[in-house]
Amino acid sequence: MGNVRLHVLAFAVASLPGLALAQPGPNRLPGPWHLDIEANTDFPLDIGARAQLELPYRFVVSTSLGVMPTPYAQAIDATLVGFDVFPQVVGNLINVALDGSLVWRTHVGWRPFPRWGFDIQAGYGLVALGGSAGAAQLLTAVGRAPPNDPDINGRPIHIASMLNMLDIEVGWTFLIAQWVPVRVALGFAGTLGASSSLYFVGPDGNAIQPRAAATQGFINQTTQWLDGEYQSYVFLGVISVAAGFRAF
């Protein structure tokens, strides 16, 4: 009976390393460095790809690049209009500017618990709004009709903007079979600064250089107004989901 107990105890001790390795958390593989490559969506900002590098002491650096699809732009418009942030006519104009935007986000953070996947990250987001050449009627609807200028009368208006955003998020990473990371996160993105451009499209597809002072004044006032709208009202809750593979 004594020998049986000794064998059982020896088996239990030998199994401890395997049990420790099976505990939850993203740090199952040996070593302090880990690289995750993932497909990613940050709703309602973008769909794209993401990479995260974990450093010694569980500091993390991540970057993602994606595009804003039409349903995401519509969701931003519906949310801001639904909460009476601005009227529908302004929402229509911002929706046109947002559609098809390029979104780049870079974060730094920390995973405080060695055996668990919880992390806190913060950083910078750049949203390059693709713009549209169909903004003339929308500008008129918000009370910003172009001046009467024979050089630009009837010409399409192209608007493009760039937003600089502050990102903060808390997330959790699960590992499946040690090599497949799945991450979910809740965050916030707020516009810190914006830069917009507006020009009239000529018959050759190029920008028309306005000669009238009233037209140049209209361009300056409209872009300043747009930048103010972005900085005052474009603040979003963000839901992120990512999955991919752990390179090491």
Instruction: Please name every residue paired with 176 in a beta bridge, in sequence order, or none if there are none.
Output: 180
Instruction: Return the pLDDT at 136.
Output: 72
Instruction: Return the pLDDT at 92.
Output: 76
How many residues appear in the chain?
Answer: 248
- Rounded to whole angstroms, how far apart are CA atoms 169 and 40? 15
- Rounded to whole angstroms, how far apart are CA atoms 141 and 139? 5
Instruction: Return the pLDDT at 132.
Output: 64
Instruction: Please name every residue paired with 245 in a beta bridge, in sequence order, or none if there are none.
Output: 37
Instruction: Return the pLDDT at 131.
Output: 67
How far are the Cα atoms of 17, 177, 225 from residue 231, in angstroms, in the given order? 53, 44, 10
Instruction: Return the pLDDT at 96.
Output: 73
Instruction: Return the pLDDT at 13.
Output: 36
pTM: 0.80
Domain boundaries, the chain: 2-246
Instruction: Return the pLDDT at 179.
Output: 92
**With a cut of 70, which residues of the chain have pLDDT below it?**
1-30, 99, 130-134
CATH fold of the domain at 2-246: Porin (2.40.160)
Helices 88-98, 213-233: inter-axial angle, 10-degree rounding: 90
Instruction: Return the pLDDT at 134.
Output: 65
